[in-house]
Structure 1
Amino acid sequence: MTLSAKPRVLVLFGGRSSEHAVSCVTAAGVLEAIDRSKYEVVPVGIAKNGQWSLVSLDPSQWSLRSTVLPEVPVSPESVVLATASDGGAAQELVATATERMPRSLGAVDVVLPLLHGPFGEDGTLQGMLEMADIRYVGAGVLASAVGMDKHYMKVVFASAGLSVGPYEVLTDREWSRNRSGCLERAGKLEFPVFVKPARAGSSMGISRAASPAELEAAVETARQFDPKVIVEAGITGREIEVAVLQGRGLDEPRTSLPGEVAVQPGEHEWYDFEAKYVDGAAAELSCPADLPPDVTDRVRALAAHAFDALGTEGLARVDFFYTPAGELIINEINTMPGFTPISMYPQMWAKSGLTYTELIDELIELALERKTGLR
């Protein structure tokens, strides 16, 4: 691929998942901070019905205004990927509308997919971009798919020698055929348990069940977001997170100083959606986390190991529980973590010496260096 003198970056956000608004808020932060002197930015939003369209570059349109969640509107003009006019790879954007001739929006050099959840973070979009031979920021098809599914994520981590907590998986078929059996199986876990959609993020659809009596309602809540549900035993421990950034060339993954989220006493029992994105005073980040030096070194090494175990590229945030017994139990990896200026991932890198704008630049540079296809 021949890059433009000023690389064109397609900032893609919105999407069909329940995390649509979170994606828009992430895009607001990136559009505000990206170096416009270095990159030509092409903002494309995906409406909830799946339509792609050219949208405003104005970050304020996509930010969280009070408690009003931003949303990409349906447009009379759609954007599609098409074979470039010179016969090259399918990397040209074309705008189409009813009773109007298609118009070219030019080629793009790299896609920055700021999408959370299914149809964006789960390997589906990554597969499309691979087939179109377009470079993109972040994990590839397999790492994205496994990282999105909390069940298979744990299977991979366990096989890589990482400690995972006790859990049960309830599939749609099992729940439909034998609900009582599912509840009995999940009810053997130590309470409280956290009941989660297996393939969702941003704390969407997650409930804390303090007893078996609360379990069925919690599963039904999770099933509103995903027919596949994972029930995880509550683990007593501090929540420690590490931001991971792919190394250049053959270099090892880079890790930030570890951070710790402390939910302030009040309305939030745990780090839920409101605490993450709406109530700015609900949680406090300590970075570096107050840990013994050897534990700091160990959690950073384990985060890099988890990153490599999934074959992750670009970026990821890896979350652990640090127990009173000194264990580090991996909770999950997020291959497209929250990326607003106040999100954990950028904050941890800021505390580690990499500003938000520099972080965006590094991710784009990594993507431009990486070839598409098998690697």
Structure 2
Amino acid sequence: MFRSKLPQVETTIFTVMTNLANTYEAINLAQGFPGFDCYPYLQDLVAEYMQKGYNQYAPMHGVGLLRQRIEEKSKNLYGVNFDMETEITVVSGATEALFVAITTVVQPGDEVIVLEPAYDSYVPAIQLSGGLPVYVQLHAKDFSVDWQQVKDAISERTKAIIINNPHNPGGYVWKKADFETLSELIGEREIYIISDEVYDHILFDERKHLSPCMFESLQQKTFVCGSLGKTFHVTGWKIGYCLAPVQLTKEFRKIHQYVTFSTATPFQFALADFMVDPTRYLHVGEFYESKRNLFLKGLRETKFKFTPAEGSFFQTVSYGHLSKEADYELAKKMTVQAKVAAIPVSSFYHEKKDHKQLRFCFAKEDDVLEEAVDRLIDFSRHIR
């Protein structure tokens, strides 16, 4: 009899809700992708490089010019010098970066701390490596870290901690005190940090992005997993990267070469040219902040409760004061009746813990957000 390596894995909630949105012609604020196109100049650059014949395999660790731009970007963002030859690897999306980083450090029987609610790719990667996920729940109200729970979860078998900053689905942005506490808890232990930072440029209200690689005590133990697709509105290109110290990068690349080997060549050259001007990524947060603010202005007219997202392009809302209905059922009902699709936050918990919360993606055109809010205002008034 065939034995599944991931018997518990079913169709993702993102696919389920997107299919439902398509069936009922609903506004899709469920799946996390921009509802607008990338810069036309960036498209022109891709076409130019295709026409010039840059259509064969790229170097395994990434096109040199793009790694140079990521080196410059990391210096701008983190103030840390990553060497483009030995510490920066271009991969096919941040999900690959996360998978390979987890696979690099996790051996059978190792424990990996997962902060829930969590992005759905973490746990399958841990399990495929024979590791054991150890779950720690974030504070339900604002998705900040319960550090006492983290301390209690660390054991002699802990090999890694996965962090996500800014957080999806909650929008929480880590503070300096968070990293200082993390450093104290890890100390001299051989515990690695796999840092999911795909929304590193999408922070609001003058917040600054912090990464464990910026802290000397954590730098040599950290894999930074990033996404150029999220930053430049080209999620379908699947261009990600991993920043890690030399020895970790050496081991990371051993596995990467047998996963995808290399990433689409003309996209890499186009992005390298596009990133010559740092303002193209340094002001992304301002662009998304205006969309968050527009969405929040409308949400204030609904009966939902919420804490404004500090980063990412997601906003969660609570409805427990209105109804005891399961979030999955309410999300389906909202898609069918109000024709607005969202993600039930219970989907980000391994035991489907239901705090009566929904996640909306506001990376959409302004008129789409305004129409969605108009529908949500009416729907929220009839929740029972």
**TM-score, normalised with respect to structure 1:** 0.24
| Higher relative contact order (Cα pairs below 8 Å, separated by 6+ residues) | 2
Higher strand proportion, which one? Answer: 1
Query: What is the TM-score when the length of structure 2 is the normalising length?
Result: 0.24
